[in-house]
Amino acid sequence: MEASRETTLLARLEDLSRDLDELRRRVVLLEHGPSASTAPVDELRRRDVLLERTPSPTTAEIETPPPLTELELPPVAGVEWAAGLVPLFGWGLLGIAGAYLLRALTEAGYLPGLLGVGLGIVYAAWWLFLAAHRAHERPMFSIIHGLTAALIMAPMLWEMTVSFHLIPPLAASAVAVCFTVFGLAIGWQRNLTPIAWIATLAGLVTTTALFRETHAPTVWAVSILVIAAATEFAACRDHWLGLRWVVALAADFAVLLVTLLTTLAPAAGVVQGLQFALLTIYLTSTIDRTLLRGLNVTRFEVSQAAMTFAILVGGALRLTGASQTGPWGVGAFCLLAAVVCYAVSFASLENRDGRSRNFYAYSTFALLLVVTGCGVLLNPAALAAAFSGLAVAALVAGFRRDRYTLRLHAGAYLLLAVGMAGMVPRATERIIRTGGGVESGLPLPYAFALLGAALCYAMLVAQERQRAPRWTDTLEVTLVAALAAWGALGAAAGWMSAAPLRTALLTAAALAMAWSRRAELRRLAYPLMGLAGLKLLAEDLQQGRSLTLFGSLIFFGGGLILLPRLMRRAWPADSSSSARAAGPTDQEPQAT
């Protein structure tokens, strides 16, 4: 019975083995295709044999699992981070406790006052040195130790100066500045940003707090400027560029507040010295980075240069407003700086970098400085004459040297001349007289602006065939032509008192421009006719005189009839001439 049962069991095992082999063969065929050999199946059989021969572990060999208390649980990230941060705060509190110990010994008389102050300064510097010493290993160590040094230094200086009167404000501000410079120096080699920020902010806050209590504006402003000079020196070597914004705002605010002070204001010479120091610091760093090193000018450098010039010019005018020589000095300084900027932009930057960002920055500053200098020095009539002359000179220089930027500056100067003279509104008042009479004769600023516009238009027309065409040429020549034409019509209308004559003047000017072969003048024909109709409604109809209306309607109606005919007569000739000037096109190749 037992033998038959064993025989049956062996037979079933053999059948199961064959079924398993068949299953393996089919899997191999599915994986490797019909051409696969039986090598994978044989390999699997060998592995099974090896597994059968390997003895299974006994119960004694199975290791007993450790108790639950001995299991190593995986560390939690937040717990591990807190475990590393909490001791650092403990060290920081110990450092502050040491500072209080020095304070207690000084108050009790165990340490002389100046010795206690000196030990406190050395103690804070030592903590700042520790912050920089191991910054590369543990960043949080550096931050906590740096904050500890700042929290030791700032309150100690404030108390020793304001409460105990052991050191004067000048000495306390000097220590705060030295603390900032020391922090920048020890963080220089490895470019330690946290140390630089902590030391600089500590110096700024400490000097500002001392000024609030001691009311010494000169000491405060000088301290801020020294910190600004240190940070700009670091920025010239590409260290802590983001720190420049904070320090520059503090420096601008300090110098501006000292300039605007009335009760605590120092002498005018001291304030002007602070203004020039502010400009020198940031102008020197900008020149070093953009001209000497060839880096692109940044938004900070553009905005800070504009701010420092504004503080210098505005402050100098405020301080020297009562004198006669003050504005002349400010204006001369602005014009001299404008000449330097023009020379740098067109003689150096354009040849070296082409149309770089630095070129446009320096040339734009030159334009603004010229406008500022002329505005300080000249009266309205002379200002219109100066801007008109500058427009003509810039246009001539732009054509001679093929500098399109100078042509843009010429347009800016011409618009300034027209705006200062009020040429457009004055011409409108002289042509459309809805508010009464007009001034007799031609005002001098008006005449200078009109002369400048006429000369600029004449040069644009004369140089049309000698310059390379640009897409802005049409806008440029049309705008200048419109200014010159409207100014000339205003000058002529000043001598005409009858309303129909001025309507006839506008109509005749529109017809003349439609007859012209100049494209920019023909573009002005319909706008001028529209202005004539506006004058007819605003002035002629309001007078209510039959004879006046008869003359105005005759002139305006005749102009409306002739204008389209003149436009159609002039266009074909101009289109053929422009086609000849353009040469062969892609669609119509030139015949050979």
Closest CA to 388 of 421, 426, 364: 421
Please tell me the pTM assigned to this model: 0.75
In contact, 164 and 117? CB cutoff 8 Å = no
Per-residue tokens: 352: 């070296």
Q: What is the DSSP string of 177-245?
A: HHHHHHHHHHTTTTT-HHHHHHHHHHHHHHHHHHHHHH--HHHHHHHHHHHHHHHHHHHHTTS-TTHHH
In contact, 147 and 198? CB cutoff 8 Å = yes
SS3 382: helix
Q: Specify if 191 maps to a domain.
A: no
Alpha-carbon span 393 to 330, nearest angstrom: 24
Terminal C-alpha separation, the chain: 118
In contact, 438 and 483? CB cutoff 8 Å = no
Alpha-carbon span 356 to 349, nearest angstrom: 8
Write down the pLDDT at residue 136: 67
Q: Specify if 334 maps to a domain.
A: no
In contact, 136 and 186? CB cutoff 8 Å = no
Structural domains counted in the chain:
1
Q: Specify if 199 maps to a domain.
A: no
In contact, 254 and 224? CB cutoff 8 Å = yes
Burial grade of 36 (CB within 10 A; 0-12, 13-18, 19 or more): middle
Write down the pLDDT at residue 21: 74
Structural domain harbouring 500: 496-570
Q: Specify if 540 maps to a domain.
A: yes
Query: Exposed e or buried b for every residue in 419-430, given b needs 16+ CB within 10 A?
Result: ebbbbbebbbbb
Q: What is the DSSP string of 396-452?
A: HHHHHHT-HHHHHHHHHHHHHHHHHHTHHHHHHHHHS-SSS---SS--HHHHHHHHH
Q: Specify if 534 maps to a domain.
A: yes
How many CB atoms within 10 Å of residue 42?
A: 11
Write down the pLDDT at residue 317: 86
Per-residue tokens: 455: 């000369």
Tens of each residue's pLDDT in the chain, 592 residues: 556 666 776 677 677 677 777 767 776 665 555 554 455 555 555 555 444 454 544 444 444 444 444 434 444 444 454 555 677 777 778 888 888 888 888 888 888 888 989 999 999 999 999 888 877 667 788 888 899 999 999 999 998 999 888 899 999 999 999 999 999 999 998 889 999 999 999 999 999 999 988 889 999 999 999 999 999 999 999 999 999 999 999 999 999 999 988 777 788 889 989 999 999 999 999 999 998 988 899 999 999 999 999 999 988 888 876 556 668 888 999 999 999 999 988 876 655 544 578 888 999 999 999 999 999 999 989 999 999 999 999 999 988 888 888 999 999 999 999 999 999 999 999 998 876 666 777 899 999 999 999 999 999 998 877 766 777 888 999 999 999 999 999 999 988 888 889 999 999 999 999 999 899 999 999 999 999 999 988 888 887 677 778 888 999 999 999 999 888 875 544 444 444 334 433 333 333 2
Residues 6+ apart with CB under 8 A from 511: 525, 559, 562, 563, 566
Alpha-carbon span 230 to 568, nearest angstrom: 71
Q: Specify if 232 maps to a domain.
A: no
In sign, the C-alpha dihedral spanning 438, 444, 445, 451 is positive
Alpha-carbon span 202 to 179, nearest angstrom: 8
Write down the pLDDT at residue 323: 59
| Neighbouring C-alpha atoms within 13 Å toward the C-beta of 335 | 14
Alpha-carbon span 426 to 447, nearest angstrom: 11
Alpha-carbon span 524 to 527, nearest angstrom: 5
User: What CA–CA distances, in Å, run from 422 to 211, 382, 428?
Assistant: 48, 14, 10
Write down the pLDDT at residue 591: 34
Q: Specify if 20 maps to a domain.
A: no
Q: Which residue has the tokens 């082999």?
A: 21
Q: Specify if 556 maps to a domain.
A: yes
Per-residue tokens: 491: 């000058």
CA R_g for the chain: 43
